[in-house]
Structures are given as C-alpha cells and as structure tokens.
Chains A and B, each alone.
Chain A
Amino acid sequence: MMTKSKSRSWLFVVPYVLLFITFIIIPIVAALYLSLTYFNLVNFPSWLALSNYIRLLTNDPEFMTYVLPNTIKFALIVGPGGYMLGFFLAWSLSQVTPKARTIMAIVIYSPSLTAGVAMAVLWRIIFAGDQSGYLNAFLLNLSLIQEPIQWLQSPEHLMNIMIIVSLWSSMGVGFLAMLAGILNIDQELYEAAYIDGMKSRFQEIFYITIPSMKPQMLFGAVMAIVNTFNVGGIGVALSGTNPTPQYAGQLIVNHIEDYGFIRFEMGYAAAISVVLLVIVYFFSRLSWRLFGERRHSK
C-alpha cells in the first residue's frame, strides 16, 4: 500500500513535466503533423500527406545542391572535429599543474560563452571586407594578399570562416565534462597498468582513460552534436543575409527559417525540421552505440 507521502511525490515533477510537454514534446509532435500539410499561418492546414518530403528530396534544388552538402560538411567538421579537439585539449590540460590548468581551461571555455549569433558583430568587424578590416589589414601588411578580400560575402570563404568561428566557440559544457571526467579517473589504474607493462601515452588513452570515462565521453558527444546544430544560424548572422551569398553558408537551420518565417510555408519548413531532428537523433544514437554502457530503450 502506498503511503500518503509517496502518493504525492509526483507533484514535484508536475511543473517541469508540464513545461517539458508544452514546449518540447508538443512542438516536436506538431512539427511531425505540420510536415504533412500545407500551412501558411492564415488558413487551416490542408493535408498533403508526404508531398512536402517528396518536394524536399526531388524538387528543392537549393536544398540538394547547397543546404544538405553544406550541413553535412559543417556538421562533420564542427561535430566530431570539435569533439575530438575538446577531448584532446581536456586530456592535455589534465597533464599540467592545477593552477595553470584552471587558467587555461577558463580561456578555452570562454569563447563558448559568446554564443555564436550574438557575437557575430565582433566577427563582422574582424572580417570586414575593405582594407581597414582587421584580418585584411593584417594580411596586406604581411603581403600575403594583394587586394582586400570580401571574406563574408564571398562564397569560397564564408563556409571556412563559419567552421573556424564555430570550432572556436565549441569548447563548452561537454569540454568541461570531459576534463572533469579525466581528472576523476583513479590514479591507481594508471599505476597498475604501468606495472603491467603499459608503455605509451597512446595505450594509456585507449586502454585506461577513455574506457574509464565513457559516461562523460557520451555526455560530451551529445553536447557536441547539439551545439553543432544549434550554432547553425551563424552563416546568416555573419553575412547578414538569408539566404547567404550564393547559398554558400546556408545550413539546414537557415533553410527552416527561410521557408518558415520569410516565405511563410510553415508546412514545408516543418518537414525540414523533422529531417533535422532525425539527423540529430541518428548522430546521437551513434554516440550511444560507441560510449553507452547499457542500451536505452528508444
């Protein structure tokens, strides 16, 4: 028989669950529903079945030629790239004395506080296209370039700048978790392994460090994936236009915004959202397979 206090326990979760359902679950479900309709905010959604998805895959040249390849390129470099860099930096920091480590960890973490989009102002000043732009002046001064370069307006540079800026600001919570994870590994494990004949730091990393901190590795991976897609608006913020010049920096998030809030084709935008959520889910499953200790249902 349940005691009185037990029967009221669930009250503690009610506020969180209500907010969670309203602003996380319902939007996901609504995205699924809307993706099967035509909806322009004014008229009631009209049923289209799968035609939004068919249109996305067969009849959206921008999506197939620019947005999807851009997103894959950006996500692969910033996601796994940023993740590995984060682990490497965390591991390196764990090899130095605490005071130096704390200072350097703060320096490495602080760019993630600048939150991509809001800080785009700063990048626009550094990458300004005329000769008084900071990067241009610097390179002109060293005679590495002859003419100022339109960094943010030229299709061949925009994507690279987006990747650099995103990597720069990607050492966030996941990085801290991995650092804490490495520092918490029992020193005796290493000691014992060296007595057993472990020879190199490489062996150390793969036989001791990573296996001992799988939970943090998984947390870091999930944070890296989420961060990668959350900073997806950076191209528009940097270049100041949506779509970005010749779609060079167009990522899937910008495509959603373009259709949802510029063209008001909400149904179609929702279909793109669903595709994005599926991509994120797929990557997360992958990390779960790599680092998860037990299988999670769904």
Chain B
Amino acid sequence: MRRFQGRKMNPTYFHPGQIKFYLYLIPICLFMGLPIIFIFFHAFKPLDELFAFPPRFFVINPTLINFRNLFERTSVTGIPMSRYLFNSLLASAIMVLLSLLIGSMAAFALSKLKFKFKSLLFEINTIALMFVGIAVMVPRYLVIQNVGLLDSFFAHIVPLLAIPVGLFLLKQFIDQVPDQLIEAARIDGASDLYIYWKVILPLIKPALATVAILAFQTIWNNVETSNLYVNTDSKKTLAFYMATLTTQTGNTVAGQGMAAASSLIIFLPNLILFIIMQSKVMDTMSHSGIK
C-alpha cells in the first residue's frame, strides 16, 4: 500500500516520486509558453529593438508606441482600428448571449422534456460534433447569400450560433440535475419556461461559462467570415484586420510592431476569460464524455 500512496493520482501533497513528471512537464510548458511570452515582449518593443540585429527575445525599453500606432492607423479604406475592435466586441457579445440562450433552451428540452424525435435530434447533434465548418465554405456562402446575410454585420454571428459542442456540453450537464427537483417545481405549478429560467439556468452556471468561452473564441478569432462573406471594410472584425497588417504593410518596420500589439489584444481576452473560469470549465469537462 505504501507504493500505492506514492503513486496516487491527483495527489494532495508533494512526494519525491513526482519529480520525474516535472522533469519533462516543465520543459514542455516552456516550449508551449515561449511563443506566448514572445508576443508579450514583442508588443512592447520600440522600433530599434524590433529590428535590432541580432534580434533579442526580451524587451529592454518597453514602450506603448506599437499600441499607439495601431490605434492611430487607419486601413487603406480609411477605417480606424477602433472600428474593427468595436465590431469584434459587439459581435462577440451578441454571439455569446444568443448562443447561450438558444443552446441552453435546446439542451434543457433534450435533457428534461419529452417530445417527438428527441433522441434522434441528440444523436444527429452528436454526429455533428465532428462537423468541420470550413469544409462547406462554398455552400455556406450560398446559404448566407440566400438568407440575405451576405455582406451584413450579422453574417459574423447567425451562421455560427448553433454550436453542436455547446449543446452537447450543456445537455450532459443538465442531465446531472435531479429530476425530482423539476417534478417538485412542476407540482408547485411552475411552467416549463419558469423551470428553465429559475431552476435550470442557475444550476448550470459552470456549463454556461464554458460554452460562453467557446462561443466567444469562435467569433473573436474568426477570420473566414470577414474574408469570404463580408465585403464592406467597416463591417469586418479585428482578427481579420490583424491578419492583413503584415501582408498590407509588407512586414515592414511599423507593421511588425503593430501586428505584435494586435496579437496581444486578440489573445489576452481569451486567456483572461479562461483563467477566470477554469475551475468551471474543468467541472463541465468532467461531464463531457460521449456515452
């Protein structure tokens, strides 16, 4: 049994037997983290350090000049960066709210209500987990055109609102809510809508947080929509603008600093959201299995 204690999974205290894991986990973490630390340093480098030879990893005299350049610069068509940032923020906010509402409503019904084709619907959704959206970019273009979303701001949001993984995670999480709770509410005369809003939603906050992160990432990092489905520059998003920075400026002096600064702006919200909600995400993930 002593051997077992030394090898225990999820150990509560440090044991010398764990050192071997650190021996390779720490180098791996360094490899994983280096490019991200690099973004941080690069974004704060002044011009002479961005193009110093030999190039240096660390920043010596950090400056905000790249961020200032980024905010002052306008695109070739005269659209300021703040417009792209605004578009991204607005699209992400609408996306998160709507996809949570739509997804949790459907998940509630799939988990706790009875209706025709319920299990078929869940089966199809489970198969759709493996749907690779990018594969159908051509027909998707035609659908977006036909529903009148082409070149509209909502082209960023509407086609991505149904998130099979999101519905899946929410449904698995709602399955954990005891049926007695819902029966009790029903005996008290609560309607399905009331149960959904007052009983289910407060109980599934961890899953809602997780799906919110997923939904946010989908839009915040999305370049395809701006590339393929939106023509008007003023309706495009920050991720797209960032991708054009180095191509438009031909990787020149100013372009690189701004690209690094905007990478940081794109990356940080993702990271901060995840760090804040990581325990909720892990909680949700423990119910994520496909049975």
**Chain A residues within 8 Å of B, Cβ to Cβ:** 5-6, 8-10, 12-13, 15-17, 19-20, 22-24, 26-28, 30-31, 34, 89, 92-98, 100, 102, 104-111, 113-115, 117-126, 128, 131-134, 137, 140-141, 168, 171, 173, 176-177, 179-185, 187, 190-191, 194-195, 201, 204, 213-216, 218-219, 222-223, 225-226, 229-230, 232-233, 237, 240, 253, 256-257, 260-261, 266, 269-270, 273, 276-277, 280-281, 284, 291-294, 296-298
CB distance from B134 to the nearest CB of A (A): 5
Docked-complex contact A12 and B36, CB < 8 angstroms: no
Which residues of A sit under 8 angstroms from B291, Cβ to Cβ?
Answer: 215, 293-294
Contact of A9 among B109, B242, B282 (CB under 8 A): B109
Decide yes or no whether B290 CB sits under 8 A from chain A.
Answer: yes
Number of A-B contacts (CB under 8 A): 319
Decide yes or no whether B139 CB sits under 8 A from chain A.
Answer: yes
Known: A16-B162, A179-B282. A10 touches B35 (CB 8 A): no
Docked-complex contact A134 and B57, CB < 8 angstroms: yes
CB distance from B118 to the nearest CB of A (A): 8
Contact of B9 among A128, A183, A237 (CB under 8 A): A183
Decide yes or no whether B204 CB sits under 8 A from chain A.
Answer: no
**Bound state CA distance, A225 and B251, in angstroms?**
33
Docked-complex contact B134 and A253, CB < 8 angstroms: yes
Docked-complex contact A118 and B271, CB < 8 angstroms: no
Docked-complex contact A107 and B32, CB < 8 angstroms: yes
Decide yes or no whether B1 CB sits under 8 A from chain A.
Answer: yes
B10, B38, B140, B281 pick with most chain A CB within 10 angstroms: B10
**Bound state CA distance, A30 and B138, in angstroms?**
9
Docked-complex contact A141 and B54, CB < 8 angstroms: yes
Which residues of A sit under 8 angstroms from B263, Cβ to Cβ?
Answer: 118-119, 121-122
Docked-complex contact B271 and A27, CB < 8 angstroms: no
Docked-complex contact A6 and B115, CB < 8 angstroms: yes
Dominant secondary structure of chain A at its interface with chain B: helix
Which residues of A sit under 8 angstroms from B10, Cβ to Cβ?
Answer: 94, 98, 183, 187
Decide yes or no whether B25 CB sits under 8 A from chain A.
Answer: yes
Contact of A34 among B7, B22, B139 (CB under 8 A): B139
Task: Offer 30 A-B interface pairs, CB within 8 angstroms, sorted by A.
Answer: A9-B113, A12-B113, A13-B115, A20-B128, A22-B147, A23-B140, A27-B139, A27-B143, A30-B139, A34-B138, A107-B32, A113-B267, A115-B221, A121-B242, A121-B245, A121-B246, A125-B260, A126-B35, A132-B53, A132-B54, A173-B288, A180-B285, A182-B9, A185-B9, A190-B9, A191-B4, A195-B1, A215-B288, A215-B291, A277-B132
Docked-complex contact B161 and A12, CB < 8 angstroms: no
